[in-house]
Amino acid sequence: MNIGNRIKRKRLENNLTLEELGKKADVSRATMQRYESGKITNIPSDRIERISEALGVSPAFIMGWEDENNEPILENIPGIITPIKMKRIPILGTISCGKPIFADQNYDGYFMIDTNLPEADFVLKAKGDSMIEANIFEGDFVFFRKQRDVDNGTIAAVLIDEEATLKRVNKSNDVLILQPCNKNYEPLIYSKDDDKNIVILGQMVGVYSNRCK
């Protein structure tokens, strides 16, 4: 809602005509109409003060810097940088980008991220070099959304017995192929007859790397 909209709304709430409000603000009816329509946006501060007094609100409300409860609207105030809303995602340990390694399920701290970033439920720290062609390197933090199934071609965290690995998942004819993103590595291939407990932990939704600093 812009300045003109706020003036008009409050004028109507106060049962004032354009002419009546104009008189109180010491401007013509036509000028007041231009204020409300937005044809004039650079309203002098002394006019803002008279208009707000006539309408029973603060100048900051008319400017859009406060709400009707006199609470500041920080993002509307020039020169104010609002704090980023953060959320914390648990770091669950290390995930292999080569052969599977043990996935420690104890929390290894938290990673703070902006709430506007893709939804993530947990973080694992990458180890190894089998995913470098997907731009995932050792030491990177990989973010995952919890889900037990993913589309073919999706990079996911996969638990094999008690070991976790990060690979691109492909499923075909009762065969699960965990494909590395490094031509120097062979895929991990499992069939339904393999004596392995295989669980997809989550789909990768993002990567944070210290290399980007």
Q: Tell me how far apart the alpha carbons of residues 62 and 80 are, in angstroms, rounded to a whole number.
A: 18
Can you tell me whether residue 57 is helix, strand or coil? coil
Identify the CA nearest to 117 among candidates 87, 141, 153, 95: 87
* Residue 73 main-chain phi, psi, to 5 deg: -105, 90
How open is the CA angle 210-118-83, to the nearest 5 degrees?
75
Cα 61 to Cα 41: distance, rounded to the nearest angstrom: 15
> Side-chain half-sphere of 178: how many Cα atoms within 13 Å?
23
Say whether 181 sits in a helix, a strand or coil.
coil
Pairing label, strands 86-96, 122-127: parallel
Catalytic residues: 130, 167
Please give the single-letter amino acid code of residue 182.
N
